[in-house]
Amino acid sequence: MEIVDFRSDTVTRPTPEMREAMAAAEVGDDVYGEDPTVNALQEKAAEMMGMQAGLLVPTGTMGNLASLLAHCNRGDEVIMGNQAHTFRYEAGGLAALGGVQPHLLTNQPDGTILLEDIRGAIRGDDAHFPVSRLIALENTHNRANGAALSAQYTQSVADLAHEHGMKLHIDGARIFNAAAALGVDVGELTSPADSVTFCLSKGLCAPVGSLICGSKEFIYKAHRARKQLGGGMRQAGIIAAAGLVALEKMVSRLPEDHRRAVELATGLDTIDGVSVEDLNPKSNMVYFKLAGENTLSPEELIKAAKAKGVLFGHAGGGRFRMVTHYWVGDEAVKTAVEMISAVVSRQS
């Protein structure tokens, strides 16, 4: 039985071209700054983001944490959304390792934080207060169904941060999906910010790796933070080679994943007993619920679909998430709709 895996775009395996590039990669000791492939990847990333410099890190989580450590001192405050990945899913690293306090504001359903909420959260100069150091946004926003934040919104938040002597960091794990969803150059979404983290290992299919980009001064600090966190790798050109293929070949095909998300949503919506949240998915994520007479528990639905070779996740509260990516083509979308239909219609 063929397995079609819609759990996440993190399940993507490297493409044959990536494996070839990895095998042939020129390498050196990156802790000495001597790996030419890592250096090429960092330069390419910085150029695409419209920033001065880049830094390869093993994971997006380390990218966000090293960025926060580079921007903040202990006791400083970072303003972020209450649905932010960094707050919910990064094991409290900012507090545990940085002594940084998150100041949480409500994320709107579109993933933004209201400008007036941010303005109201910025502290004045008073010895009682923590120092408001940083604002962090997420683009695309995972918990907002993969919604993309516009360049204009990002610029407004950056302006607000800079007016108050603060910095803006973007958790852009899926920033290229945001650019594809909005039909803009990725640099328009990142250049207003002071730093960005993005993942090579999600929709871009590389096996490992994320990048941090920002000013030379910021990357200098992030480089030390990466070392502290144990993220200084040696012949990392093996990883960077796949990353270069990701940036050169995989970015421009992301609209295909978004088209398939629409097709998947449309297909699922034809199933009696399935209710799709948004027939026009915001990027590569489709959310649905069981509706009507269904008696399946979330665990039962996932198990029954898995038995038919279709994998997806439970996002909590009876909501299911399916993520499109390179390794699920048109056939996989058809299979998923057929199999979920077979499982659900047996119930009703």
Ligand X SMILES: *Cc1c(COP(=O)(O)O)cnc(C)c1O
Closest to ligand X by CB, 112 or 210: 210
Total residue count of the chain as it appears in this document:
348
The answer to whether the beta carbons of residues 276 and 340 sit under 8 Å apart is no
Q: What are the start-end ranges of the H helices in 28-130?
A: 36-49, 60-71, 85-88, 93-98, 115-121
Q: Which range of residues in 53-61, 74-82, 148-156, 266-274 is near ligand X by CB under 6 A?
A: 53-61
- Smallest distance, Å, CB 170 to ligand X? 10
If one asks whether residue 171 binds ligand X (CB under 6 A), the answer comes out as yes
Q: Which two tokens stand for residue 227?
A: 């070392």
Q: Whole-angstrom Cα distance, residue 327 to residue 24? A: 24
Q: Nearest-CB residue to ligand X?
A: 60
Out of 39, 52, 59, 101, the residue judged to bind ligand X by CB under 6 A: 59
If one asks whether residue 173 binds ligand X (CB under 6 A), the answer comes out as yes
- Smallest distance, Å, CB 104 to ligand X? 16
Q: What are the start-end ranges of the H helices in 144-213?
A: 151-163, 175-182, 186-190
User: Taking Cα atoms as reference points, which of 307, 308, 270, 306 lies closest to residue 288?
Assistant: 270
Closest to ligand X by CB, 15 or 210: 210
- Smallest distance, Å, CB 61 to ligand X? 3
User: Taking Cα atoms as reference points, which of 100, 112, 26, 65 lies closest to residue 230?
Assistant: 65
- What string marks each residue from 119 to 148 as x (binds ligand X by CB under 6 A) or -? -------------------x---x------
How many residues in the shown chain lie near ligand X by CB under 6 A?
A: 12
Q: Which two tokens stand for residue 288?
A: 């649905």
If one asks whether residue 15 binds ligand X (CB under 6 A), the answer comes out as no
Out of 60, 111, 243, 273, the residue judged to bind ligand X by CB under 6 A: 60
The answer to whether the beta carbons of residues 79 and 134 sit under 8 Å apart is yes
3-class secondary-structure state, position 144: helix
Q: Whole-angstrom Cα distance, residue 157 to residue 163? A: 10
Q: Which two tokens stand for residue 245?
A: 């293929």
> Which residues inside 292-311 make contact with ligand X, applying CB under 6 A?
none
Out of 12, 61, 154, 190, the residue judged to bind ligand X by CB under 6 A: 61
Out of 199, 205, 254, 265, the residue judged to bind ligand X by CB under 6 A: 199
Q: Which range of residues in 56-64, 121-129, 149-157, 255-263 is near ligand X by CB under 6 A?
A: 56-64
Omega prior to 335 cis, within 30 of 0: no
- Contact residues toward ligand X (CB under 6 A) are 59-61, 64, 85, 138, 142, 171, 173, 199, 201, 210
